[in-house]
Amino acid sequence: MARMAVEKLTAGMQLRKAVFNMNGVLLLREGERLTAKHVTVLKTWGVHEVDICQEEGAAEATSTVSPAILRQIEQETGRRFRHAALASTPHMGMIARAAGRRLAARLQAQEPAESPAKREAR
Amino acid sequence: MRLSLDTLVRQIGSLPTLPTVLQRVIELVNNPKTSAIQLARIILDDQALTARLLRLVNSPFYGFPRRISTVTEAVTILGFHAVRNLLVTASVVDLLQGEETAEFSPTRLWEHSIATAVGAGLLARFSRSEDREEAFVAGLLHDVGKLVVYQVYPAEWLRSLSTARRDDVPLSVAELRVLGFTHDQVGRLLTEHWKLPVRLSEAIACHHRPDNAQTARKEAAVVHIADIFSRALVLGSGGDDSVPPASEAAWSRLGLAEDVLDSLMIEMEEQYEQARGAILGATQAARAEATANAA
C-alpha cells in the first residue's frame, strides 16, 4: 500500500482505491490510470492523498528504510517524547517505536522531501 | 485582572453557545419520553443542519451500508444518541474557530482533535466499549477548552503557548502559570453548559489524568491514549508538539500491547484522512472551488 500526496502524483500511476469527494460522490474508480486532468480534478475537490498501486520495483525500493531517514526519526522521537519518561516507562517506548515506524513509512513512501517537523509547522 | 476558572464561570454567557436547534435536540435526546417523530421534526426545521447531517452520515468515513436520504431514516436507523453525536460533530468545528496565526492554528487543532476522535473510536472498539460514537465525540471535543480560552482570552492563551515553548514545560504547567486553570477544566465547563452527557464531560475533563475519572474511567482512558497516539503520529497539532506520558493504569485498562500498535496506528492514519475529509472537507472544497472560479 502507498498513500501519496496529490502534489506528487504523475500521469500513469494506478489508483489502488476509489476516490470520493466529501459528499460521497465517486470521483475516480479503483484501478484507474491517472491522467493530468484527473490530478486537477482531485486538487479542485480538495483531496489531499490517494492510495496508489505500488509497482513491483517501487515496492522493493521502499521496503527498507534508508539510514538517513532512521537518524531523522530517532532525533524527532527524542525531541517529541522529551516529557514522556521514555527510559522508565516501557509502554511509552512501545508507542514511540510504533509511531517511529509509521513516520518512517510515510517519509519513505510519500514524503521523501518533508520531515515530520516541517509537516507540524504547516 | 488575575484570571481564574471562577472569572470564566462568571462569564458563562460569553462561552460559545450551540445553535438553538441543537440545544433542543440535546434536551429531547436527554428526555426518555421523546419520540422519533418529535426529534426528526425539530431537526427538519433547520435546513442547513439537515443538509449537514445527511452529508456527514453518507460520507465515506461513516460508510453506512446503505444511503440514508431522510432525517427520519437517520433517527430510526441510527438511534437518538448517534444522531445527536453526528449533529454535534457537524456543528462544533464551525462554532469554535479563531484567527489562524503563526503561533496557533485552530484548523491544525481541529485536525489533531479529529485524529484523536478517530483513535478514540478505534480504541473503544479494541477494548470492546459499548459506545464507540461517544468515544469519537469525546475525542473530537477533548481540546475544546483551548479554543474557548483562545476566543475569550486570546492574549493569555498565546502567552501560555509561548511560555510552554520558552521554558520547555508541558502546556498544562504553562496554563497554570499564565491562566491559573487548564483547558481540560474549561472543556468540562463548556460541555456541562451544553448539557452533554456526564460521561462525555468527564472523559474530556480527565483526558490528561484518566485515573481521576469517577464514572467514565474507561472513556477517559480511551481519549487519553488516543490523544497521545495522535501526537506521536504528528496528525494535526494540539498547539504544543510534545508527547505527554501515558498513564500506565489507562494503558492496562485498555489491554494494549506492542504487537497491536502497528495495525491500530495504520488504521488510525487511514480513518483520519477520511474523517478529515468528511468533517473539514466542506470548507476546503468551498475554498478550492472559489480558487478554481477565480482562475
Asked whether the beta carbons of residue A91 and residue B248 sit closer than 8 angstroms, the reply is yes
Q: What is the pLDDT of residue A9?
A: 84
Q: Is A98 helix (H, G, I), strand (E, B) or coil?
A: helix
H or E element, residue A80:
helix A67-80
- Residue pLDDT, tens place only, B87-99: 999 999 988 989 9
The owner of cell 509511531 is: A99
CA distance B220 to chain A (A): 18
Q: Which is more confident, A66 or A63?
A: A66
Amino acid at A33: R
- Is the ipTM, as predicted for this complex, more than 0.90? no
The residue with greater pLDDT, A23 or A52, is A52
Picking from B60, B261, B288, the nearest residue to A45 by CB comes out as B288
Please report which confidence band the pLDDT of residue A121 belongs to, taking 50, 70 and 90 as the band edges. low
A116 pLDDT exceeds 90? no
Q: What is the pLDDT of residue B4?
A: 79
Q: Is B10 on the interface with A (CB under 8 A)?
A: no
Confidence of residue A58 (pLDDT cuts 50, 70, 90): very low
Using a CB–CB cutoff of 8 Å, tell me whether B170 touches chain A.
Answer: yes
Nearest to A81 among B58, B243, B282 (CB): B243
State mean pLDDT over A90-94.
Answer: 93
Q: Which residues of B touch A119 (CB under 8 A)?
A: 234
**Would you call B258 and A102 a contact, using CB atoms and an 8 Å cutoff?**
no
Interface contact flag, B281 A80, Cβ < 8 Å: no
Q: How many A×B Cβ pairs under 8 Å?
A: 106
pLDDT tens-digit series, residues B13-28: 778 889 899 999 999 9
CA atoms within 13 Å, Cβ hemisphere of A78: 6
Query: A23 contacts in B (CB within 8 Å)?
Result: 55, 58-59
Interface contact flag, B229 A122, Cβ < 8 Å: no
Q: Choose from B93, B109, B241, B263 for mutation: most chain A CBs within 10 A.
A: B241
pLDDT average per 10 residues of sequence, chain B (295 residues): 76 83 94 95 92 90 86 93 92 91 95 98 92 93 96 95 95 95 95 93 97 95 98 95 94 94 94 92 56 66
DSSP secondary structure letter of residue A8: G
pLDDT above 80: residue A57: no
Instruction: Report chain A residues touching chain B, CB-CB < 8 A.
Output: 3, 20-24, 43-49, 80-85, 89, 91-92, 94-99, 101-103, 116, 119-120, 122
CB < 8 Å to B261, chain A? 94-95, 98
Q: What is the pTM of this model?
A: 0.79
Closest chain A C-alpha to B106 CA, distance in angstroms = 12
